[in-house]
Structure 1
Amino acid sequence: MNRREAIQRVAMLIGGSVVGANLFLEGCTRPASKDVATLFEADSTNFLGDLAEAILPKTSTPGAKEAGVGEFIPVMIRDCYDKVDQDAFLKGLSEVDDRANKDFGKKFQELSKEEQLQFVNTYDKEAGEYQKARKEGDANHFFHLLKQLTLTGFFTSEVGMTQALRYVKIPGKFDGNYPYKKGERAFA
């Protein structure tokens, strides 16, 4: 049973129609534009995973690539971002290898871990400056979008929730005055 059938059955059970169900269902089935569809190809998801890994590398906890962030990003770009940000993301992504070639003389995936870190730190600084000067209606900076999606994808993944954050399968009651010890991981 798919989502559409489930909503239709629930609507029939409650004896009416679900207001806005068509709009809700259309949002779930929106096709990707031809350009965005290329993000779903294996080479693209691998490349996105490597970029995300440079932002959030493996340490004592798994990195972004292991959390499946490379597969998460295309879905979010397709389903959650408007055309302006989609275009900015695609343009920025297409320029990564050119920029790596210019700065280091090789493609991004050929860079050492230290060079990748230096590369993303430079991009992060540039994105921060761009975002501060950005006007209403302008596209977000490519790296700003990439970093947001990397962090969101990682910390909402099973790996991020159970291994990077402090996971309590069955938590106790809420205690708003729980003592914090410096260096503790956040709860998932």
Structure 2
Amino acid sequence: MTDISQIDRRSLLSTALMLVGATAAAGLSPEAFAKAAAGPKPFLDPASFTLLSAIADTIIPKTDTPGAVDAHVPAKFDALLVNWASPEHRVMLAGAMAEIDRLAMDKEVKRFVELAPDQRKELLAAYDIASLKPVPRTDKLTGMRAMMAGPSVANPGYAKLKELIVLLYYYSEEALTTELVYEHVPGGWTPSVKATPETRNTGGLGLF
């Protein structure tokens, strides 16, 4: 997972690519993304949606390229809660957001959305490091699930929240047209090319 205290687009991209296997194992299919793009009735109430938007904007802010809010990540995330997430996942993800808000109240006596961008980043950076600290795995996975499982971390709820924000961003039209090169699959084969400041990685649901 990426330390957002030193966040940049390429490190986030590396994170997203590492998470592809874990996401496929969790059942987040192209169909789920398609449903997310046209989600019906919102799942989150307005206050929770505003909190989600502030968290997403802190993880992937707008720079010289669009940020998570520009890519409509909060709306797509909400639609995943409606169309894809199990009741357990909904509780876990909502709890992760609420915990960030409680942390802001404890430390700054303000809601997370009320903090200045620099304050949000500082608070979330420390929380990110603590939450994504590797811990021994307690579940016993076998076969394909063991191969595809992501790392075991101290706060799985926050890890899933961040994972979905990053993936929804990098599978968005905004990211695919400004930071990645989209190649429709099936298509021509291109050998691996090292990511440098002069190159753009290939992205798209064909990774599945």
1:1-188 superposed matches below 5 A: 38-39=43-44, 41-129=45-133, 132-133=135-136, 135-136=138-139, 141-167=156-182, 173-176=188-191, 179-180=193-194, 182-183=196-197, 184-188=199-203
Larger Rg: 1
CA distance in 2, matches of 1:86, 1:140: 15
Q: Counterpart of 1:62 in structure 2: which amino acid?
A: P
- CA drift at 1:140: 6.0
Equivalence for 1:20: none
Q: Counterpart of 1:136 in structure 2: which amino acid?
A: D
CA distance in 2, matches of 1:126, 1:155: 25
**Cα deviation code 1:8-44 (max 9, x no counterpart):** xxxxxxxxxxxxxxxx9xxx8xxxxxxxx641x3433
Q: Closer, same or farther in 2 for the Cα pair 1:134/1:118, shift >3 Å? A: farther
Q: Which runs of 4+ in 1 moved over 4 A?
A: 137-140
- CA drift at 1:167: 4.4
Equivalence for 1:34: none
**Cα deviation code 1:52-111 (max 9, x no counterpart):** 010011111111011111111122234333333322222222232221011222211111
**Cα deviation code 1:117-160 (max 9, x no counterpart):** 1122122112212x634532999622211111111110111111
For structure 2, the residue ranges without an aligned partner over 5 or more in a row are: 1-30, 36-41, 141-151, 204-208
Q: Which has the higher contact order (CA 8 A, sep 6+)?
A: 2
Q: Equivalent residue of 2:202, what SS?
A: coil
Count of matched residue pairs: 151
- Higher share of residues assigned helix: 1
CA distance in 1, matches of 2:163, 2:92: 14
- State the TM-score, normalized to the length of structure 2: 0.61
Q: What do you get for the CA RMSD once the two structures are aligned?
A: 3.2
**Of 155-164 and 41-50, the range deviating more from structure 2:** 41-50
